[in-house]
A and B are shown apart, each in its own frame.
Chain A
Amino acid sequence: MYRDSDRAQVTPQLAIRVAVIGGIALAMFAVIFFRLWYLQVLSGDRHLADANDNRVREIKVNAPRGEIVDRNGRVLVDNRPGLALKVTPDKLPEDEAERGQLYARLAEVLGTKDSIIRRRVRDQLKLLPFSTATVKQDVDSQVVQYVLENQEKLPGITIERVFLRSYPHKQTGAHLFGTVGEVNEEQLEDERYRGVTQGDRVGQSGVEYSYDRFLRGRNGANRLQVDALGTLEGELARREPVQGRKLRLTVDLDVQDAGQKALAGTKGAFVVMDVRSGEIRALGSSPSFDPNIFAKVIRESDFKRLSAKENGEPLANRAISGLYPTGSTFKLITSVAALEGGLITPDTIQVDGGSITVGGITFKNAQDAVHGAIALRRALEVSSDVFFYKLGLEANGQGDGEQIQRWASRLGIGKPTGIDLPGESEGLVPTPDWRNDLFKKKLTDRAWSVGDNINLSVGQGDLQANPLQLASAYAAVANGGFTVRPHLGKRIEDSDGRVLQEFEQQARKKLGIKAQNRQAILEGLRLAASGGDGTSTDVFKGFPVPIAGKTGTAERGIGRPDQSWYVALAPYPDPRYVVAVTDEAGGFGAASAAPKARQILAALYDVEGDTAQPGKSRTN
């Protein structure tokens, strides 16, 4: 150790120790400088980005969805401003008890439970911490009044304008438009919802779903500067929301309305389609519902009521998802199969003795009618069952026995049509393989027999099809043998009506039906609607447009009323439209479905003051 005296000179030991401390200082500054260089010069831009992220909050401004209009530009779906009750989280009382009181007060005003409000707010804020949470989408003016008058008692509660879907025509077309609802977690991960963020409302069914990409628009955003406590310091930038595109449908509101009115009070469906392009002019299901209740968050009880079987399942779209035997309307398909398969020519005579017996079972005409020696046209006119039973019997024995099934499938029965609506059903064309397979698995009591094919030939038995499939099959025959893809979307327009995208119809598939065969079938259908013994002649009496059409009466089991069908082609001889109507409990085709079809055709052809009377034909 050193001495305190004579410290005039620096001793070597002292110098070393000072140098050690100096060295430590040098090392210390070097470390700091290198670290600063790394932070500020080498990775400064990243930290600058972090600093900017820190101070900026984006508040989403929801974009109104695009309008949906009919083919003539009449508004089918638009938006109405609504008032939503929202919670701004950082303005809520800090104190847990005070906050509880606030929720309780709010619950009383809204007529709900405070635990529900609490949960709703918490769930939304968990996902978007700096956003506002919606307590209720659409509040009435009384609640708005109360909130505005009691602002000091309701800190953090605000009323905000939102856009809600509005359906001015209520029940008309409800099944087409579909519903809009908050995007769910599964959808958020789906590629087709790219750009959609939590809390956005997207199409959940109908064309709102199919064309959501165009309808949804682009959300706007307010970029706000906030401080460390989240307090607003000013607006940095604002991006206005852009409304979604306008969707023009192929639908004609008048025809749609007529169809909906014609079927009011029944359980049934109708389809009006352009046979060449596949454009849907009208498509509806009955009973219907008012889609306005889906504009805000739908109540559980409403949803239950609209899905209940005893109420006729109003939410179900029977036109595309109903599965029925089609009755005699199927004779079109049997005709095509028999002609194209060479079982008969248009002029091959068969004797209708009123019944045939195969394997000990007797198949009879309706009302025990006897039509005698007839060819195809006459068979269609009077809807002879025996004529077609014989075709079913013969087809079963020819080749692989699936001539009818093959043509049914080609014409689109038993498989989705590809219409731009979600929820289409597949249906079923019964084949020997299908039934034998079920039998092997012991799911049915018997194997395939010729009787099955005989039933199929007149649209009875295990056949399951929906009205749209049937309409498509008729369209293919009517247009000269091309399959069409039914569709509702016509084009996308901007707000000024400029066309942005036209939905081109897809390449049609030629089925190769011989012209004379097609001609014979159309003539037969024409006779059925206009001949002396036509099954629907009396229904279309006096109608200014020449109609060809087929009635159908499908048996739906013992104790249940028959299902009434009618498929019309107009105008004869070069049909432009197909109209398919079914009434689940309508009885004979001529009695219910045919007059309804006339009502729809009257709207389609603007026939003023037309009245439709039920027909008297009692055929299948």
Chain B
Amino acid sequence: MESPFGTAVRGFRESGPRIVRLDPLLLVATVALLFCSIYTLYTATGDDVEGSPLFYVIRQSIYAVVGIGLMLAIARFDYSRLRELKLGIYGVMIATIFLVFVVGAAARGSQRWIELPFFRFQPSELGKLLLIVALSAFLIDRLRRGSERETTSRIMLLAIVPAMLVVVQPDLGSAMVYLVIAVTILFMAGTRWTHFAALGGIAVLAMSLVLVAAPAAGVELLKPYQVDRLTAFLDRTDNPREQGYQLNQSITAIGSGEKTGRGPEAASQTKLDFLPEHHTDFVFSVVGEQFGFAGAAFVLSLFALLIWRGLRIMTMSKNLYGTLIAAGITAMLMFQVFINVGMTIGIMPITGIPLPLMSYGGSSVIVTLLGIGLLQSIHVHARELAAAKTAL
């Protein structure tokens, strides 16, 4: 009765393709964002690789196609079976992140990738998803025994271990995502409010230790460029040529788009390379410059749709495990959208977090699609159970 597709859809139910039980709006938002990404890359990166104007477009398309294939495959797969594999999943996550230190390719002072034959694999990206799946499973197991306080601290510890590992890479952005994931899962599992107050207190303490106390004592826990990037948004005029430069150029790009944008040809900030990293971290600035407030609002609406569907799937999951996974994925998307977009418009620090589905990059695109595949799987299996109950 709740299917928007009416009887026609119900007719398929007997023949059993689970594809019809996918969340259609989630699918629409996903595919639309991928199209937006590819179109933006097409307009913005034509001159970036000499002799190969479609370099990024072709690669991003391949990642999208592969990712959608994997997403559909996962949607058919019952996520509940991942619960038993939690130890293995957590182990794989830690191992791949470790692997980066062994064979990782250095890039701009960061060591985040493992070179594969076809693309650079970034374990910290996949780690986000593995952490959600493993952490949710650990949490459900803990629900039946032990004190709540112990559960909270153990779960946080399980998230802090990989977070510390990626901070050293250094990939501060992913580490922050890990912590957000852990907090959200704890929150959705019904952890007491007092625990969050305590966690918040610890976070403030840790931050002041890292940013203020430790440097004062002569211990540099963060590299200077990381501190600069984190604090540049607070005072943009401070150093316009260094950290503030990216931010200023991004704000100029977005602002110059005005209501309807300058169009791909006249978008000088992007076209003349004033906007750094315009195919990855600052892809939203390109949208803002080329298509203005209208274009930016359109892309944001698609993300809003994505997040709304995520929230909805949290409430309809057939079990708590699904709810926690959906919460983790939704929080991951929300956080990354907010931090990335916030960074391009100067209200958040520059942390190198990609915009999900929009930023160019195989690891990010495919992992995001895997996550959405898990959301779809939760949706599909909830609908299946509901259908079974109705049939009874």
A residues lining the B interface (CB < 8 Å): 1-5, 7-8, 10, 13-15, 17-18, 20-22, 24-25, 28-29, 31-33, 35-37, 39-41, 43-48, 50-52, 54-55, 225-229, 233
- How many CB-defined contacts (below 8 Å) exist between A and B? 151
Q: Establish whether residues A36 and B296, one from each chain, have CB atoms under 8 Å apart when the complex forms.
A: yes
Indicate whether A51 sits within 8 Å of B253 (C-beta atoms), given known contacts A1-B148, A4-B320, A28-B334.
Answer: yes
Indicate whether A29 sits within 8 Å of B300 (C-beta atoms), given known contacts A22-B311, A44-B257.
Answer: yes
Q: Establish whether residues B311 and A25, one from each chain, have CB atoms under 8 Å apart when the complex forms.
A: yes
**Measured between alpha carbons, how far is A17 from B304 in the docked complex, in Å?**
18
Q: Establish whether residues A45 and B258, one from each chain, have CB atoms under 8 Å apart when the complex forms.
A: yes
Indicate whether A7 sits within 8 Å of B345 (C-beta atoms), given known contacts A1-B189, A39-B251, A54-B269.
Answer: no
**Measured between alpha carbons, how far is A148 from B383 in the docked complex, in Å?**
79
Q: Is the C-beta of B280 less than 8 angstroms from some C-beta in chain A?
A: no
**What 7 A-B pairs come out closest when comparing CB atoms?**
A47-B255, A44-B258, A227-B272, A51-B256, A228-B273, A48-B256, A40-B293
**Measured between alpha carbons, how far is A38 from B252 in the docked complex, in Å?**
12
Indicate whether A13 sits within 8 Å of B190 (C-beta atoms), given known contacts A35-B347, A37-B293, A55-B268.
Answer: yes
Q: B281 to chain A: closest CB distance in Å? A: 16
Q: Establish whether residues A51 and B269, one from each chain, have CB atoms under 8 Å apart when the complex forms.
A: yes
Stretch at the interface among B64-72, B95-103, B323-331: B323-331
Q: Establish whether residues A36 and B297, one from each chain, have CB atoms under 8 Å apart when the complex forms.
A: yes
1/0 contact string of B248-273 vs chain A (CB within 8 Å): 01011111111100100000110011
A sample of 11 more A-B contacts (CB under 8 A), given A29-B300, A54-B269, is A1-B191, A7-B318, A15-B315, A17-B190, A28-B338, A33-B297, A36-B296, A40-B292, A41-B259, A44-B255, A227-B273
Q: Is the C-beta of B341 less than 8 angstroms from some C-beta in chain A?
A: yes
Residues in A with CB closer than 8 Å to B191 are 1
17 contacts between A and B (CB under 8 A): A2-B189, A2-B190, A4-B143, A4-B321, A7-B320, A14-B190, A17-B190, A21-B187, A21-B330, A21-B331, A28-B334, A32-B300, A39-B345, A40-B288, A46-B255, A51-B274, A228-B272
Consensus secondary structure, chain B interface = helix
Closest to A56 in B: B268
Q: Is the C-beta of B46 less than 8 angstroms from some C-beta in chain A?
A: no
Residues in B with CB closer than 8 Å to A54 are 249, 252, 268-269, 272, 274
Q: Establish whether residues B273 and A7, one from each chain, have CB atoms under 8 Å apart when the complex forms.
A: no
1/0 contact string of B290-322 vs chain A (CB within 8 Å): 001100110010001001100100110111111
**Measured between alpha carbons, how far is A229 from B345 in the docked complex, in Å?**
23
**Measured between alpha carbons, how far is A134 from B319 in the docked complex, in Å?**
77
Indicate whether A17 sits within 8 Å of B187 (C-beta atoms), given known contacts A36-B293, A44-B259.
Answer: yes
**Measured between alpha carbons, how far is A41 from B257 in the docked complex, in Å?**
9
**Measured between alpha carbons, how far is A33 from B272 in the docked complex, in Å?**
27
Indicate whether A7 sits within 8 Å of B311 (C-beta atoms), given known contacts A28-B338, A35-B347, A40-B257.
Answer: no
Q: Establish whether residues A39 and B254, one from each chain, have CB atoms under 8 Å apart when the complex forms.
A: yes
B residues lining the A interface (CB < 8 Å): 140, 143, 148, 151, 184, 187-191, 249, 251-259, 262, 268-269, 272-274, 276, 288-289, 292-293, 296-297, 300, 304, 307-308, 311, 314-315, 317-323, 327, 330-331, 334, 337-338, 341-342, 345-347, 385
**Measured between alpha carbons, how far is A36 from B346 in the docked complex, in Å?**
10
Residues in B with CB closer than 8 Å to A41 are 258-259, 293
Indicate whether A33 sits within 8 Å of B140 (C-beta atoms), given known contacts A44-B257, A54-B274.
Answer: no
Closest to B268 in A: A55
Q: Establish whether residues B273 and A229, one from each chain, have CB atoms under 8 Å apart when the complex forms.
A: yes
Residues in A with CB closer than 8 Å to B342 are 31-32
Indicate whether A226 sits within 8 Å of B315 (C-beta atoms), given known contacts A13-B190, A39-B251, A48-B258.
Answer: no
Residues in B with CB closer than 8 Å to A46 are 255
Q: Establish whether residues B274 and A21, one from each chain, have CB atoms under 8 Å apart when the complex forms.
A: no
Name the one of A14, A25, A227, A228 contacting B315, with C-beta atoms under 8 angstroms: A14
Residues in B with CB closer than 8 Å to A20 are 187
Residues in B with CB closer than 8 Å to A43 are 255
Residues in B with CB closer than 8 Å to A36 are 254, 288, 293, 296-297, 300, 345
Residues in B with CB closer than 8 Å to A48 are 255-256, 258, 262
Q: A13 to chain B: closest CB distance in Å? A: 6
Closest to B189 in A: A1
Residues in B with CB closer than 8 Å to A18 are 188, 311, 314-315
**Measured between alpha carbons, how far is A5 from B317 in the docked complex, in Å?**
11
**Measured between alpha carbons, how far is A52 from B317 in the docked complex, in Å?**
52
Closest to A29 in B: B304
Q: Establish whether residues B319 and A39, one from each chain, have CB atoms under 8 Å apart when the complex forms.
A: no
**Measured between alpha carbons, how far is A18 from B190 in the docked complex, in Å?**
11
Closest to B190 in A: A1
Name the one of B262, B300, B327 contacting A21, with C-beta atoms under 8 angstroms: B327
Closest to B151 in A: A1
**Measured between alpha carbons, how far is A227 from B272 in the docked complex, in Å?**
4
Q: Establish whether residues B319 and A7, one from each chain, have CB atoms under 8 Å apart when the complex forms.
A: yes
Residues in B with CB closer than 8 Å to A233 are 272
Q: A547 to chain B: closest CB distance in Å? A: 75
Q: Establish whether residues A226 and B272, one from each chain, have CB atoms under 8 Å apart when the complex forms.
A: yes
Q: A606 to chain B: closest CB distance in Å? A: 67
Q: B351 to chain A: closest CB distance in Å? A: 16
Residues in A with CB closer than 8 Å to B292 are 40
**Measured between alpha carbons, how far is A10 from B363 in the docked complex, in Å?**
35
Q: Establish whether residues A51 and B258, one from each chain, have CB atoms under 8 Å apart when the complex forms.
A: no
Q: Establish whether residues A47 and B251, one from each chain, have CB atoms under 8 Å apart when the complex forms.
A: yes
Closest to A54 in B: B274
Q: B308 to chain A: closest CB distance in Å? A: 8
**Measured between alpha carbons, how far is A15 from B345 in the docked complex, in Å?**
33
Q: Establish whether residues A1 and B253, one from each chain, have CB atoms under 8 Å apart when the complex forms.
A: no
Closest to A39 in B: B255
Q: A46 to chain B: closest CB distance in Å? A: 7
Residues in A with CB closer than 8 Å to B143 are 1-4
Q: Establish whether residues A40 and B188, one from each chain, have CB atoms under 8 Å apart when the complex forms.
A: no
Q: Establish whether residues A51 and B268, one from each chain, have CB atoms under 8 Å apart when the complex forms.
A: yes
Residues in B with CB closer than 8 Å to A45 are 258
**Measured between alpha carbons, how far is A610 from B317 in the docked complex, in Å?**
122
Closest to A46 in B: B255
Residues in A with CB closer than 8 Å to B276 are 228
**Measured between alpha carbons, how far is A216 from B70 in the docked complex, in Å?**
73
Closest to B333 in A: A25
Residues in B with CB closer than 8 Å to A31 are 342, 347
Q: A57 to chain B: closest CB distance in Å? A: 11
Residues in B with CB closer than 8 Å to A28 are 334, 337-338
Q: Establish whether residues B252 and A17, one from each chain, have CB atoms under 8 Å apart when the complex forms.
A: no
Q: Establish whether residues B256 and A32, one from each chain, have CB atoms under 8 Å apart when the complex forms.
A: no
Residues in B with CB closer than 8 Å to A21 are 184, 187-188, 311, 314, 327, 330-331, 334
**Measured between alpha carbons, how far is A43 from B151 in the docked complex, in Å?**
49
Residues in A with CB closer than 8 Å to B187 are 17, 20-21
**Measured between alpha carbons, how far is A459 from B307 in the docked complex, in Å?**
103
Residues in B with CB closer than 8 Å to A2 are 143, 189-190, 320
Closest to A16 in B: B190
Q: Establish whether residues B274 and A25, one from each chain, have CB atoms under 8 Å apart when the complex forms.
A: no
Residues in B with CB closer than 8 Å to A225 are 268, 272
Q: A340 to chain B: closest CB distance in Å? A: 73
Name the one of B269, B288, B317, B330 contacting A7, with C-beta atoms under 8 angstroms: B317
Q: A530 to chain B: closest CB distance in Å? A: 82
**Measured between alpha carbons, how far is A131 from B189 in the docked complex, in Å?**
64
Q: B229 to chain A: closest CB distance in Å? A: 19
Q: A478 to chain B: closest CB distance in Å? A: 69
Residues in B with CB closer than 8 Å to A17 are 187-188, 190
Closest to B83 in A: A4
Q: Establish whether residues A55 and B256, one from each chain, have CB atoms under 8 Å apart when the complex forms.
A: no
Q: B1 to chain A: closest CB distance in Å? A: 16
**Measured between alpha carbons, how far is A3 from B304 in the docked complex, in Å?**
30
**Measured between alpha carbons, how far is A43 from B293 in the docked complex, in Å?**
12
Name the one of B272, B293, B338 contacting A55, with C-beta atoms under 8 angstroms: B272
**Measured between alpha carbons, how far is A409 from B6 in the docked complex, in Å?**
113
